[in-house]
Amino acid sequence: MSNPEPFLLINFKTYLESTGKRAVDLSKKIEAVGESTGVKVGVAPQFCDIEQVAANVAIPVFAQHIDSVAPGASTGHVVAESVKAAGADGTLINHSERPLQLFSIDKAVELAKQAGLTSVVCAGTARLAAAVALSEPDIVAIEPPELIGTGRAVSKENPEIVTESVKRIRRVNSSVAILCGAGISTGDDVYAALKLGTNGILVASGVVKAPKPEEVIASFCEAVLKII
Amino acid sequence: MSNPEPFLLINFKTYLESTGKRAVDLSKKIEAVGESTGVKVGVAPQFCDIEQVAANVAIPVFAQHIDSVAPGASTGHVVAESVKAAGADGTLINHSERPLQLFSIDKAVELAKQAGLTSVVCAGTARLAAAVALSEPDIVAIEPPELIGTGRAVSKENPEIVTESVKRIRRVNSSVAILCGAGISTGDDVYAALKLGTNGILVASGVVKAPKPEEVIASFCEAVLKII
Amino acid sequence: MSNPEPFLLINFKTYLESTGKRAVDLSKKIEAVGESTGVKVGVAPQFCDIEQVAANVAIPVFAQHIDSVAPGASTGHVVAESVKAAGADGTLINHSERPLQLFSIDKAVELAKQAGLTSVVCAGTARLAAAVALSEPDIVAIEPPELIGTGRAVSKENPEIVTESVKRIRRVNSSVAILCGAGISTGDDVYAALKLGTNGILVASGVVKAPKPEEVIASFCEAVLKII
Amino acid sequence: MSNPEPFLLINFKTYLESTGKRAVDLSKKIEAVGESTGVKVGVAPQFCDIEQVAANVAIPVFAQHIDSVAPGASTGHVVAESVKAAGADGTLINHSERPLQLFSIDKAVELAKQAGLTSVVCAGTARLAAAVALSEPDIVAIEPPELIGTGRAVSKENPEIVTESVKRIRRVNSSVAILCGAGISTGDDVYAALKLGTNGILVASGVVKAPKPEEVIASFCEAVLKII
């Protein structure tokens, strides 16, 4: 994925504002802005909403997590094949709110690959971003947990962690795409993130909890267009 | 739920045979047998399949697990509200393949109740069956882990654990419905389970991995009709 | 353990104030007060300190946790036999800072019994206190997590949870000893706890972090003597 | 630690053969062979045995695990400071029988460093060995879980994983020492391990469960002497 086009990925978490029908509605709004601006956007709804979201929009749909187990006798787990069958294109792995054992991260990337899912592995520090890049996922997302949900954007509060992550990732993996996240809430935050050498952003509350999510996404897309 | 009608609950686990469209197909077959015999049947598909299954059948649909967290900033978790919004009627909790901390079992029962979901809490021994009955779920399912997936039915291999569970549960909870499971694969197994004082069975591979699941379910339903 | 003598158990947690040589010193101070007042006191130091503490005092020594595994190929785990061999008399199980799966609580009680260790199972609510009492440990300790470390004593802030716990435990287990804990820091708190029908208290920061722990323990012991 | 002298580290796991007094006895035997041959040997007893082992031998003593938490209100956890106070020189981290979340591995290495403990981080594949090397521990131990306890030595059954690990680790960390383990039981296995470019071995059942552990260690030490 060398020189991938900028990508804005919206994580729906388990917010009520993005559950059930509202997950579908929000996805449609996000898709509309993506289409009108030509900027690549994607959504990560809850497991139960993947099927309906994927049936209603053409933008990439991601699961928020997969377990590192193959299909079989594992009640209550989320296997890559199930996520894929529901229409997802990819999955987050190791989000700081759903951290995995080291071995399981590596295994989950492999299982995602086998199932044809794009893998986005999250990491909270520059060093860990490089560590997960060794598993050769499609995308690494750097998100310092201490800034998540704060509205203080990683790309402006702590630009060093982003540049350091990019540097350390590139030492061990020349092709993985890089997102950054945590606290992103304005077009300026997105612009700063791209300027720091990332390929886009991962965002949740900044969009989902906004009074008018479509306006936030529109400001994000405008920021992307200023760069490309 | 005093004197509830017998109930057969089929856990789809993460078997490929019951993933995606095959989850919907299998659910329809199970519903058809339930309708033709008048026996109450239900299914527990994977999270991603709940919406489509619930949209296609009228029988009770259960999630295989919920997390003991309220909606909010919890990426990759399964909240009761999401399961409910997708159309589920209930949820398994603490299956031996997805065991929870004691506190989380109690919390999950409460969250299920608040979301309007029927809760089925699993336990592997008679003593633990009584312990979880104290949380006042709708249903307790007794499943000795050592018999799960073996084809050797708990109701015939270890009837004592079933009667002992019923006895211990009734000491602390007079109204909770009681299922038993593990190794159930024939109508005789179901008949034995009901004779032991349970209100039905929880079954997975015995149905899902059968060459003709509808025939297995039919034999289960016949066994129920012999009793009621 | 019907009508057991009142018992004050001091949990050293991983505080630096109670690590290494300081664990031994603190244990000696606690023992001295116990001896001079005739009140039964015990300590729960860290794993690495059990041997030295047990070699230097005659009061009961408890581990803070055991894993629910038998001795064998389990690197980094804490087995009951190891705790016992180091000189411990008992162990905490399921402290809210080291919560266990329901099955593991029951298994750990059994493993403690086999190794000759007194088991103290913690629970955070009245309902869960009854649930763990079903596993027939020697002692149940009721500790509402929200009061732990606050200095606001459970026995005065929330006496209802204590009386309700005692009531619910007694319905299912007539002989288990009952401690309460969380926020205990004065003799009055201890007096209130005993008046509510408990057999003693579990305390940590109220003693360990006190400028003069021996004075706090002395006030606790005086409260006990007012009752018996 | 460039060009470190060969090191043989014996993991006592939770075997009864290496619990309590037997941990001290076994450590003395291992020390005696180390002294007579001049080969560097170390032991990793259970937490409760660290103090007595360290008081009785002069060879390096390792904990089998530390938690990634600082001292404080964390009942039942193992903090680096406690392990250090008991006399340990280092600690294993992320053994396959006590796997950690990625973030916790990195944090545990940092906490070990702050407490003055030598850190040995385990990994089960070449890729993961490189990933943990990025956290800059003192030692990386490569142990394929599928060979642990089998008596089939990694250095002979799967030499590729060892050479591949060394290669991948060196790409990202030029100075970390490298051990390999799993199935090591003869001097030949040790010789092969050193020839593959490692700095020694991590072994458990091959020594602990041997009828005469001192003879096994002696054969290991002879193998080391053939190389240096």
In this predicted structure, the answer to whether residue D192 has a pLDDT above a threshold of 60 is: yes
* pLDDT averaged over every residue in chain B: 95
Instruction: Nearest by CB to A75, from B13, B48, B83: name it.
Output: B13
Q: Which residues of chain C approach chain B closer than 8 Å at the C-beta?
A: 94, 96, 99-103, 105-106, 123-125, 127-128, 130-132, 134-135, 168, 171-172
Give pLDDT, residue C147. 86
Task: Reply yes or no on whether the pLDDT at B11 is more than 90.
Answer: yes
Q: What is the pLDDT averaged over residues D80-109?
A: 97
Give B188-227 pLDDT, tens digit per residue: 999 999 999 999 999 999 999 999 999 999 999 999 999 8
pLDDT tens for chain A, 228 residues long, are 446 899 999 999 999 999 999 999 999 999 999 999 999 999 999 999 999 999 999 999 999 999 999 999 999 999 999 999 999 999 999 999 999 999 999 999 999 999 999 999 999 999 999 999 999 999 999 998 888 888 898 888 899 999 999 999 999 999 999 999 989 999 999 999 999 999 999 999 999 999 999 999 999 999 999 987
Give the span between the Cα atoms of B182 and A34, in whole angstroms: 50
Residue ranges with strand state E in chain B = 7-11, 40-44, 62-63, 90-93, 118-123, 139-142, 177-181, 200-203
Confidence of residue B84 (pLDDT cuts 50, 70, 90): very high
The answer to whether the Cβ–Cβ distance between C102 and B106 falls below 8 Å is no
Q: By the 8 A CB rule, do B144 and B182 touch?
A: yes
For position A146, what pLDDT does the model report? 87
Given a cut of 60, whether residue B2 has pLDDT beyond it is no
pLDDT score, position B21: 97
Query: Is residue D2 over pLDDT 70?
Result: no
Map B31-42 to HEC letters. Answer: HHHHHHHCCEEE
Contact (CB, 8 A) for D14 and C74: yes
Q: Please answer yes or no on whether C76 and D97 come within 8 Å at the CB atom.
A: yes
Which residues in A lie closer than 8 A to residue B151 (C-beta atoms)? none
Close Cβ partners of B223 (under 8 Å, ≥ 6 residues apart): B187, B188, B190, B191, B194
Is there a contact between A97 and B78 if contact means CB atoms under 8 Å apart? no
Residues of B in contact with A148 (CB under 8 A): 73
B208 in Cβ contact with B17 (< 8 Å): yes
Residues of chain D contacting A172 with CB distance shorter than 8 Å: 130, 134, 171-172
Q: What is the CA radius of gyration of chain B?
A: 16
Cα–Cα distance for residue pair A16/A14, rounded to 1 Å: 6
Question: Under an 8 A CB cutoff, do B48 and A50 touch?
Answer: yes
Rg (CA), chain C: 16
Residues of B with Cβ-Cβ distance to C94 under 8 angstroms: 102
> Span D158-172, mean pLDDT?
95
Instruction: Give the pLDDT confidence score for residue A227 in this predicted structure.
Output: 87
Q: Is the pLDDT of residue C33 over 90?
A: yes
Q: Can you give the pTM of this predicted structure?
A: 0.95
Contact status, residue D73 vs residue C205, Cβ threshold 8 Å: yes
The per-residue pLDDT for C1 is 41
> How far is A153 from D202, CA to CA, in rounded Å?
44
**Distance, in angstroms, between B188 CA and closest chain A CA?**
24
Q: Tell me which residues of chain D have a C-beta less than 8 Å from any C-beta of chain C.
A: 11, 13-16, 19-21, 46-52, 63-65, 69, 71-79, 81-83, 85-86, 88, 92, 95-98, 148-149, 204-205
Of D14, D79, D98, the CB nearest to C79: D14
> Of B100, B106, B124, which has the smallest distance from its Cβ to C128's Cβ?
B106
Matching residue, tokens 């109220």 = C206
D95 carries an active-site annotation: yes
DSSP reduced 3-state for A139: strand
At residue C10, the 3 state secondary structure works out as strand
Rounded to whole angstroms, what are the CA distances from A36 to A199, A225, A228, D84? 20, 12, 16, 61
pLDDT in tens, D54-81: 999 999 999 999 999 999 999 999 999 9
For the stretch C161-198, pLDDT in tens is 999 999 999 999 999 999 999 899 999 999 999 999 99
- A64: chain B residues, CB-CB within 8 Å: 75-76
Q: Express as a percent the part of chain B with pLDDT over 70.
A: 99
Residue B146 pLDDT class (50, 70, 90 cuts): confident
Sign for the pseudo-dihedral over CA of D63, D69, D71, D74: negative
What amino acid positions of C are annotated as catalytic residues? 95, 143
- Looking at CA atoms only, how far is residue B14 from chain A in angstroms? 5
Residue of B nearest to A66 (CA): B76
The Cα C123–Cα C202 span in angstroms is 12
Say if residue C47's pLDDT is above 90: yes
Burial class of D19 by CB neighbour count within 10 A (0 to 12, 13 to 18, 19+): buried
Q: ipTM of this predicted complex?
A: 0.95
Confidence check: pLDDT of D9 > 70: yes
Helices (H), B134-185: 154-157, 159-172
Q: Residue D178 forms beta bridges with which residues? A: D140
pLDDT digits (tens, 9 = 90+) for B30-49: 999 999 999 999 999 999 99
Pairs of residues, one from chain B and one from chain C, whose beta carbons lie less than 8 Å apart: 61
- For residue A149, the chain B residues in CB contact (below 8 A) are 73
Contact B137, B176 (CB under 8 A): yes
CA distance C68 to chain B (A): 13
Residue among D21, D24, D82 with most chain C CBs within 10 A, to mutate: D82
The b-or-e profile of D53-66 (16+ CB within 10 A means b, else e) is bbeebebbbbbbbb
Task: Read off the pLDDT of residues C50-76 as tens digits, 9 standing for 90 and up.
Answer: 999 999 999 999 999 999 999 999 999
Token output for A40: 């690549």
Please tell me which residue in D31, D65, D143, D157 is annotated as part of the active site. Answer: D143
pLDDT digits 0-9 by tens, D27-43:
999 999 999 999 999 99
Q: For the stretch B148-168, what's the b/e string if a residue is b when 16 or more beta carbons lie within 10 angstroms of its beta carbon?
A: bbeeebbbbbbbebbebbbeb
Say whether pLDDT at D226 is over 80: yes
Q: What is the pLDDT of residue B3?
A: 62
Contact B85 A21 (CB under 8 A): yes
Q: CA angle D87-D88-D90, nearest 5°?
A: 155
Strand partners, B11: B44
